[in-house]
């Protein structure tokens, strides 16, 4: 079994551990602490590492990650073992799983805010930092099965969220890519060998997710992709989470464009419709 605790990390174990959802693939989730609001014209000193340790073991326990990492020194503090969920993202009752959605879901708070100043130099993004100790963190995540891919693409300062991808694809995500959350961090991340956008289409979620009376993120994702591919003319307003006749007609139009007829063009997506639509 891989190490529950990152080798070399300082340990500050919190007692409220809880299991993750084993049916989801393993993930790594990246944040920045964003302790201050600075600018290129007015950079600000980086907040001391110990201040954040004190916060996550005290008043900030309710939002503690697995790891707190200082990319300027390589120092790491760990609050939860890899087998437990941590609590750094919002998770609405009854909604998409966020803090637990993975065989492991290792969350890393990076000690950073835009235009922080260290040693007299200001740093605009995480990508600009020396990223000391990143290799050791990634090796540990790989030992838990987290693949070196960004299923939604490498993070930017813009939000990019999709429930289907989040639920079905292992790899690395930014806070800006987690359903039910509104943060835009971590921004551009340091590059590492092997890390790449995932080229695979999202896994087909099953026929039972579509049809009259169905309302879920898969219906919305289907509609958005139909529009992207030029098959959204039957929407009067736009795709939504609720299945309607416009969804069926648009799917049918896409299926007929593949040369299919009869039951092959009934307007309800199956695995091959899904594969062709997303490839």
Which of 34, 16, 25 is closest to 125 using CA atoms?
Answer: 34
Q: Are residues 188 and 64 in the same domain?
A: yes
Pairing of strands 76-78, 67-69: antiparallel
Q: What is the CATH number of the domain that holds 248?
A: 1.10.101.10
- The Cα 72–Cα 165 span in angstroms is 32
The residue among 172, 197, 222 that closes a domain is: 197
pLDDT of residue 201: 62
Domain extent at residue 214:
207-278
CA distances from 136 to 39, 65, 88, 220 (A): 31, 17, 21, 38
pLDDT of residue 96: 77
Query: Two tokens at 182?
Result: 């509104």
Q: Are residues 190 and 223 in the same domain?
A: no
pLDDT of residue 227: 92
- The Cα 108–Cα 144 span in angstroms is 15
Q: Are residues 116 and 31 in the same domain?
A: yes
Q: Are residues 105 and 214 in the same domain?
A: no
Q: Are residues 69 and 188 in the same domain?
A: yes
Three-state secondary structure call for residue 150? strand
1 within some domain: no
pLDDT of residue 197: 65
Q: What is the CATH number of the domain that holds 177?
A: 3.40.80.10
DSSP 14-57: -S---B--TTSPPEEEEEE---S---SSS-EEPPPHHHHHHHHT
5 within some domain: no
Q: Are residues 101 and 236 in the same domain?
A: no
Indicate the pTM of the whole model.
0.74
The residue among 197, 231, 252 that closes a domain is: 197
List, in order, residues 6 or more apart from 25 with CB less than 8 Å away. Answer: 102, 103, 145, 168, 169, 170, 171
pLDDT of residue 195: 73
**Tens-binned pLDDT, residue by residue, of the chain (279 aa):** 799 999 999 999 999 999 998 888 999 999 999 999 999 999 999 999 999 999 999 999 999 999 999 999 999 999 999 999 999 999 988 777 899 999 999 999 999 999 999 999 999 999 999 999 999 999 999 999 999 999 888 899 988 888 878 888 899 999 999 999 999 999 999 988 777 665 556 778 889 999 999 999 899 989 999 998 899 999 998 899 999 999 999 999 999 988 899 988 999 999 889 878 887
240 within some domain: yes
- Total domains, the chain: 2
- The Cα 139–Cα 145 span in angstroms is 10
Q: Are residues 54 and 143 in the same domain?
A: yes
- The Cα 206–Cα 184 span in angstroms is 31
Which of 33, 37, 74 is closest to 56 using CA atoms?
Answer: 33
Q: Are residues 126 and 19 in the same domain?
A: yes
Whether the link from the prior residue into 118 is cis, omega within 30° of 0, is no
- The Cα 170–Cα 152 span in angstroms is 11
2 within some domain: no
Q: Are residues 253 and 211 in the same domain?
A: yes
pLDDT of residue 152: 87
The residue among 173, 197, 221 that closes a domain is: 197
Q: Which residue's entry shows tokens 């326990």?
A: 61
50 within some domain: yes
- Longest alpha-carbon distance in the chain: 69
């Amino acid at each position: 079994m891989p190490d529950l605790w990152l080798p070399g990390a300082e340990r500050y174990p919190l007692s409220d551990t809880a299991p993750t959802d084993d049916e989801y693939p393993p993930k790594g989730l990246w944040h920045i602490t964003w302790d201050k609001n600075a600018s290129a014209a007015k950079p600000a000193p980086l907040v001391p590492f110990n201040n954040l340790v004190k916060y996550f073991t005290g008043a900030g326990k309710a939002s503690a990650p697995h790891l707190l990492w200082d990319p300027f020194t390589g120092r790491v503090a760990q609050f939860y073992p890899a087998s437990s969920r941590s609590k750094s993202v919002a998770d609405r009752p009854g909604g998409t799983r966020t803090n637990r959605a993975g065989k492991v879901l290792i969350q890393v708070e990076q000690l950073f805010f835009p235009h922080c100043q260290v040693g007299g130099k200001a740093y605009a993004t995480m990508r600009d930092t020396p990223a000391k100790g990143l290799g050791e963190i990634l090796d540990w995540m790989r030992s838990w099965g987290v693949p070196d891919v960004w299923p939604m693409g490498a993070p930017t300062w813009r939000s990019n969220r999709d429930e289907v991808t989040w639920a079905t694809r292992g790899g690395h995500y930014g806070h800006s890519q987690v359903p039910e959350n509104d943060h835009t961090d971590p921004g551009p991340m340091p590059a590492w060998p092997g890390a790449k956008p995932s080229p695979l289409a999202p896994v087909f979620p099953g026929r039972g997710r579509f049809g009259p009376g169905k309302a879920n993120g898969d219906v919305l994702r289907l509609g958005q992709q139909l529009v992207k591919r030029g098959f959204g003319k039957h929407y009067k307003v736009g795709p939504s989470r609720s299945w309607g006749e416009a969804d069926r007609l648009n799917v049918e139009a896409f299926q007929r464009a593949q040369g299919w007829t009869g039951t092959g063009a009934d307007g309800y997506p199956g695995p091959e419709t899904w594969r062709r639509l997303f490839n």
